[in-house]
Chains A and B, each alone.
Chain A
Amino acid sequence: QTVVTQEPSLTVSPGGTVTLTCASSTGAVTRGYNANWFQQKPGQAPRSLIYNTNNKHSWTPAQFSGSLLGGKAALTLSGVQPEDEAEYYCLLYCDGAWVFGGGTKLTVL
């Protein structure tokens, strides 16, 4: 069973830039892993932000972007705002199954 790993926590200052990553235990993440990224705030359902590595939904704020970086999927937040404080999850498609990362708790401080 593939294990997907994210940073457990990150802290960023308001207005700053932060990159969250998503690694697969099977090797380098490529576009074929179809990475999706989600934001979840306490007590709420997850909200989809990015699909297929770097594609945004119509509702995805402009400061969010997805990419591949050093063999991992990555989510970059630019010009971070206090309301971006949340848990972020990546999701990879691995050998016919979807696997979530453990999540990154992003603190804006």
Chain B
Amino acid sequence: QVQLVQSGTEVKKPGASVKISCKASGYTFTSYHIHWVRQAPGQGLEWMGIINPGSGVTNYAQKFQGRVTMTRDTSASTVYMDLSSLTSEDTAVYYCARELNIEWTYWGQGTLVTVSS
């Protein structure tokens, strides 16, 4: 069955970077886009960007341009999201989600990132 399994909880200091992974299984990795979405405590969902695992092409939300990098390792069926210059406002649960032709389907379980001095 389709699964997106994310890496574990992270605790970072302000100014640091965090890299979260999303390992896909149960389908052809390069055939579906992967989005990253975050949710601050008690808040709504926020779209961060998308990567096409087949080509590596990315599109980032304007808010995160210059601070986020999405990459993939096709041999490991894994997508990575790197967020730099962290502040307390980046404390959130980060999700990866699969999409193709505007059909969003499966989500990862989420990764909690806490930014605290």
- A residues near B (Cβ < 8 Å) are 1, 34, 36, 38, 40, 45-48, 51-52, 55, 57, 89, 91, 93, 96-103
Contact = CB atoms under 8 A, between A and B. Distances in A.
B105 A46 contact: no
A48 B107 contact: yes
B62 interface: yes
Given A48-B104, A91-B47, A97-B47, 9 more contacts: A45-B107, A45-B110, A57-B105, A89-B44, A97-B59, A98-B50, A99-B47, A100-B44, A101-B44
Nearest to B110: A45
How large, as a class, is the contact surface on chain B? 20 to 34
B62 A97 contact: yes
24 contacts: A38-B104, A40-B45, A45-B95, A46-B45, A46-B97, A48-B105, A48-B106, A48-B107, A51-B102, A51-B103, A51-B104, A51-B105, A91-B45, A91-B47, A93-B102, A96-B59, A97-B47, A97-B59, A97-B61, A97-B62, A100-B44, A100-B47, A101-B44, A103-B44
A98 B34 CA distance: 13
Interface of B: 35, 37, 44-47, 50, 59, 61-62, 95, 97, 102-110
B104 A91 contact: yes
Contact of B102 (A34, A38, A89, A99): A34
